[in-house]
Amino acid sequence: MIKKDMINYVADLARISLAGDEEKLFASQLNDILAYIEKLNKLDTAGVEPMSHAVILVNMFRDDKVKDSLPKDEALRNAPEKEKDFFKVPKVIE
């Protein structure tokens, strides 16, 4: 059973502010979903390898050659705020 406190904690981890009664709503909806997901507990998975991908992939390597990358001005073009060649954010260090 997820309580409102847990929703607040997880929302904080996910860097999302919740508004109004969202914590209550999410707690109730997530409890429904988790109750449904509970059925997985009935499944015996002892000795089963976890699957993180649908195809078997080993590390993919490419030749260590320098290629063109996105020009700075284009990388910065969508920035909400920028200064010279940098993304600008609110002050971090006091």
How many of the chain's residues bind another protein (CB under 8 A)? 50
Q: How far is the CB of 61 from another protein (least distance, A)?
A: 10
List 43, 65, 66, 85, residue binding another protein (CB under 8 A): 43
**Residue 86 sits in the site that holds another protein (CB under 8 A):** no
Q: To the nearest whole angstrom, how small is the minimum distance from the Cβ of residue 66 to another protein?
A: 15
Query: How many CA atoms are closer than 13 Å to the CA of 54, on its beta-carbon side?
Result: 0
